Structure 1
């Protein structure tokens, strides 16, 4: 492969290329039907929104294997069961939208032959290289995909089988075009790599440009047929012969600004390129010459799209800017909001859709002049979720003072605005009064929030700014909230969370968990370096118990059947008390794996402890003895809950792990979660058929006939 110099101005770049034989290596593509569980990820990062051939039809794809489909110009969306948790990056449709293909991470390919209702999944090649782009030669019926580390593959049967191609370059391809005028595929990547095929992707010419530009997006200018490419290095390249010879048609003066996307205004014919610091470049002669337009924003613009005489550009801080005069002048159409807007597309008839991180989705019905939220983003890690027993509403709380609410069993979510402004605060735990009178969320920097309307509105009740609260419970017998914090601090509220009194525990150890013994009514809090404190007078006074361990304790659980108390934590040993917490002893020294949570199976009464490296321990005698249970995973498990209605147990953890047991925790099997991110805890919805697990993602799993139910 020969190299040619890239220089400024309009100097032509000499042709370089040689024929490369395509080595026909069939990728191992074992296709699988999506799992029968109904799984919905509410807050994926959406990377692409794309119009489909049918009027008003759209597809959006993103992380967690998410594919969304709309048939009414984006007013309503349906999430497909894809059977994969891999991030998806590009989509294509043909056969009037009946046939679709989507590509993504680690060679993932999804295809549908019924307009996106059902999908089959497969992997191209060794499953190690991410796919970034897909294109189709309609006349030949050939699909080509391109991706990282020189990945190119070809399918001649609608994506059912694939042949991996060797084009002689390790470059990563970000962009793939089909040039209908010349009937050629052109793939563009980093390191100045350009490859081209004129025979339906069977053989490829390879070109390499000195200076190794990284080509980001491309456009075929319809009048001249020229390929115009913005580059990460701030230059614009143009080829008038389908990718063989290239000219530098824009080179920055001074500091280069990354260029990321290109579009063509249909009314004026102007080409527009956008990029870093809100830069906008404009050409009125098919990309041969460029001028810099006034930047409409200081934020990075990552994508620009054009339909008719309207241009919309999207970018960081939720930016959306609009031009109605071919890119000469621009105006901001929404207020900046934290996060990333990734893509924007038209559904026709003046309807536009914009998507981004955290599941954000906005819609415009007036050609981009005004926008309405369809989905507010949930970008923060959620630490806790509870269900309001009166309304059935689900409430999640987490980092950056985030509170989200669902009225429909986790199908859709709304962020709660107008929360109290607390510097650097976060919410770590949530407790609910079972009668529905009040709920309390606590967290760092003294955060104590109270809601008296089922989580829709919150007020700050925190008076202790130096306290970092780790847990909170509601004592139904005394009808009071108890919260524990770092430095051995405890706060108690006897009026539904409106006012709080700090109590002294006589320890400076950080306290991580608190519980109430249903028999004695005593409170127990556990924490750092084996600390356990006890209160027998509703939290007024506390006694410090002699520590038996030097490792941190993470959770305390009372067993109503035996009256025993169990404490678990880092490095595995389990503590147990049979006298109301006055004295404790180590019951299991053999386990050395850290444990995080304990639950009690509603049917069998068994105690189940979960923790690091997929550890599951089971006790049938109130915690006196424990048996290790195979979990089938090495991912850390963060939480376990019991479903009394169905007689089932659910454990969640890292890597999108969700496990379930229908026999009191003796056997476990995985549940698809459609995510590979961190999950921390889970709540059961009021419909009795759905659960919602939270962490990096909000995931709703509807439990159908496949879900385990204990025998009655």
Structure 2
């Protein structure tokens, strides 16, 4: 279940709009490595020194170490005696002797970043490989010896039986040492011109993967066989289940969806299965337990509780949340359409259309397009939904590899129950709009599509320009923007084409506001730099005036598009990720950026119900309330059914929070999201209607707080704890 959590952020606007995170999933660090110390536990490690312990039986996660300023961890192994050792940046070594409950930290060499680790089976030596050709070894993780190795950028090391140690360099060179790293043989060079990311070693079976490359060896790394079928995949993780069964993950390079791979013959042949539900990251397999895990970004991971080698079934899990209960894909939101604040149509991972009718608390799956991407969504009437996008694939001709695409439209005239597919042989359907007369217009690269029957049938029309965005208004004004600019006053029958503003080479978005004022956003060139700006025309492109440009402090921002509900409410979104918005016609502008918990550009933003701006970012949807009264009530405040107000300030809470409740409070209860009572772990001070809650002993997460008063009424609020 996706939980509503209220967060307040400081923004630049004078009105100080309030923020609400509509869909909440635990904010966590990227996970780089893992180990499996027992049949019931998995330890994950990664960004900011984070170590997370996952209970396979209870399907719960607890963060056991790490803080915002800790160096990243990249490798983790289990040594003899159950000692767990993790290595990372700035020469950091973390060590646990109690299964990961408590940890000690030491620094071996501040200027060295340890990138991988392994354990030698014969001697139990822990090997840690770092940048600059540094190799450290230890038996217990306390006393370390230093030596050198031939690679300055190691990506993986592995024990190939006995005293043999293999080292994979990111440039595709495999070094072999038969005396545990004391001396090294000349390297075996794999495919040149590519970057290698991962290696798995089990006995004499070695499998190595990288960007567009996969190679296997059955003689302990002396010779390798290249697999030419991996030219379109970027391999991110490999793990041996046993001597013959190998699991791997990869990203398809042209459309970037995850692919899972299975080999039953040590990596000679592979079966590939695409899965939008899962992820592609480092793979860790236990030699002692029939279990495999995949690490991912933003604290998301997958755990195979009972790996089935026939279908590679993984449980969906994430740091701070259990398996998915709604069956939705875990990919982030790429598009959102809001009829109002309650009814949302969203695209997840560019392939799945979902709908929420309760402001993002729950979602219903409507459409999954498989290999095809959804780039835009419109509602043409009360029951008609239309999705526009493309199908992409890779073509290889000799030594040349390139991508191709073909436009696709999906239409439903029964509110998403059944769908029809319209196919074209080329181009890409990028943007749609519906005119006042109900005509559906689709902008594609090189041509347009038009439907006069609400999306039942479409006609293909020429140009007039290579367009990316399209907009309409009453009475019949239509605008196309892309490599050029065109307007139509007869609903797309005839067009007048004009030039973009001077220096602008492409328009990424357009909107028609009041009095036929048109705004476009794009990038134009100035001496020595590129500038993102919004321009205005009131005469259908004959003259232009610059209305807004990205501040010099945001030079990395590039616009993907804009949305405007009227001439006062405008939002420009794009890379960063970031959104610039105004609710007063451009007098003041605010930014939403650092609050967004994602690395990917914002692909859309949507104004709903006047002053409310909805912004999808990663796996979350943010809402900004720009109404004049937005700052009058803290967003953590909830009016319950009895009319009383229960609030937590601050929320999120670090070490403590103050709960303001109605007078005459009789009792208080605190539970986590699994319904477990955690009140014994929180220290509570109560004084009338004010409760002071110390949260230092509560793990990071979301908690439900309930209070009862003398009249028997129960008041509740959700509290986020972030240490």
Length-normalised TM-score, structure 2:
0.57
Give the aligned CA root-mean-square deviation in angstroms: 6.0
Query: 1:474 deviation in Å?
Result: 2.5
**Structure 2 vs 1, CA of residues 130 and 292 (structure 1 numbering), >3 Å: closer, same or farther?**
same
Query: 1:439 deviation in Å?
Result: 1.7
| Residue in 1 that maps onto 2:34 | 91
Aligned residue among 593, 608, 614 for 2:570: 608
**Are residue 368 (structure 1) and residue 368 (structure 2) matched?**
no
Query: 1:90 deviation in Å?
Result: 1.2
**Structure 2 vs 1, CA of residues 706 and 434 (structure 1 numbering), >3 Å: closer, same or farther?**
farther
Whole-angstrom distance in 1 between the partners of 2:431 and 2:487: 14
| Residue in 1 that maps onto 2:421 | 459
Whole-angstrom distance in 2 between the partners of 1:403 and 1:175: 37
**Structure 2 vs 1, CA of residues 293 and 576 (structure 1 numbering), >3 Å: closer, same or farther?**
closer
Aligned residue among 532, 536, 545 for 1:575: 536
**Are residue 144 (structure 1) and residue 108 (structure 2) matched?**
no
**Structure 2 vs 1, CA of residues 460 and 379 (structure 1 numbering), >3 Å: closer, same or farther?**
farther
Q: Deviations over 1:94-127 (max 9, x none)?
A: 58746x643224x431334877734448657965
Q: Deviations over 1:448-491 (max 9, x none)?
A: 4243373875533548x5x665421133x53321123567x654
Query: 1:247 deviation in Å?
Result: 7.2
**Are residue 404 (structure 1) and residue 371 (structure 2) matched?**
no
**Conservation of the 8 A alpha-carbon contact between 1:651 and 1:659:** yes
| Residue in 1 that maps onto 2:471 | 515
Query: 1:492 deviation in Å?
Result: 2.1
**Conservation of the 8 A alpha-carbon contact between 2:239 and 2:284:** yes
Aligned residue among 473, 478, 483 for 2:437: 478
Query: 1:494 deviation in Å?
Result: 0.9
| Residue in 2 that maps onto 1:677 | none
Aligned residue among 494, 497, 514 for 1:541: 494
| Residue in 1 that maps onto 2:684 | none
SS at match of 2:174: coil
**Conservation of the 8 A alpha-carbon contact between 1:112 and 1:119:** yes
Q: How does 1:40-439 map to 2 (within 5 A)?
A: 82-84=26-28, 86-92=29-35, 97=40, 101-105=43-47, 107-112=48-53, 117-120=60-63, 123=66, 127=70, 130-135=72-77, 143-148=84-89, 150-154=91-95, 158=100, 162-167=104-109, 170=112, 172-177=114-119, 185-189=126-130, 193-198=134-139, 200-209=140-149, 214=154, 216-219=156-159, 221=161, 226=163, 228-229=165-166, 231-232=168-169, 233-239=173-179, 243=180, 245=182, 261-264=199-202, 271-275=204-208, 279-282=215-218, 299=230, 303-307=238-242, 311-314=245-248, 318-323=260-265, 332-334=270-272, 343=283, 345=285, 368-369=309-310, 371=312, 384-386=335-337, 396=347, 403-406=351-354, 415-417=368-370, 428-437=375-384, 439=386
| Residue in 2 that maps onto 1:531 | 485
**Structure 2 vs 1, CA of residues 361 and 261 (structure 1 numbering), >3 Å: closer, same or farther?**
same
Query: 1:174 deviation in Å?
Result: 1.2
| Residue in 2 that maps onto 1:597 | 562
Length-normalised TM-score, structure 1:
0.57
Whole-angstrom distance in 1 between the partners of 2:593 and 2:24: 27
Whole-angstrom distance in 2 between the partners of 1:260 and 1:132: 12
**Are residue 628 (structure 1) and residue 582 (structure 2) matched?**
no
Aligned residue among 623, 634, 638 for 1:660: 623
Query: 1:318 deviation in Å?
Result: 4.5
Bigger share in strand: 2
Whole-angstrom distance in 1 between the partners of 2:24 and 2:476: 49
Whole-angstrom distance in 2 between the partners of 1:131 and 1:650: 35
Whole-angstrom distance in 2 between the partners of 1:142 and 1:280: 31
Whole-angstrom distance in 2 between the partners of 1:349 and 1:121: 23
Query: 1:311 deviation in Å?
Result: 2.9
| Residue in 2 that maps onto 1:49 | none
Where structure 1 has 5 or more consecutive residues not aligned to the other structure, the ranges are: 1-34, 40-78, 265-269, 420-425, 673-700, 708-712
Query: 1:525 deviation in Å?
Result: 0.5
| Residue in 2 that maps onto 1:650 | 614
**Structure 2 vs 1, CA of residues 350 and 121 (structure 1 numbering), >3 Å: closer, same or farther?**
closer
Q: Deviations over 1:548-570 (max 9, x none)?
A: 877565544456xx766552424
**Structure 2 vs 1, CA of residues 369 and 281 (structure 1 numbering), >3 Å: closer, same or farther?**
same
Whole-angstrom distance in 1 between the partners of 2:495 and 2:468: 16
**Structure 2 vs 1, CA of residues 670 and 469 (structure 1 numbering), >3 Å: closer, same or farther?**
farther
- Number of residues paired by the alignment? 545
**Conservation of the 8 A alpha-carbon contact between 1:640 and 1:651:** yes
Q: Deviations over 1:602-660 (max 9, x none)?
A: xxx9513335785634345xx4x633235465997653323449x7422357x999753
Q: Deviations over 1:270-329 (max 9, x none)?
A: 54222367654446xxx7xx887988986598624134x753253667442114xxx6x9
SS at match of 2:245: strand
Query: 1:205 deviation in Å?
Result: 1.0
Whole-angstrom distance in 2 between the partners of 1:350 and 1:166: 34
Query: 1:206 deviation in Å?
Result: 0.9
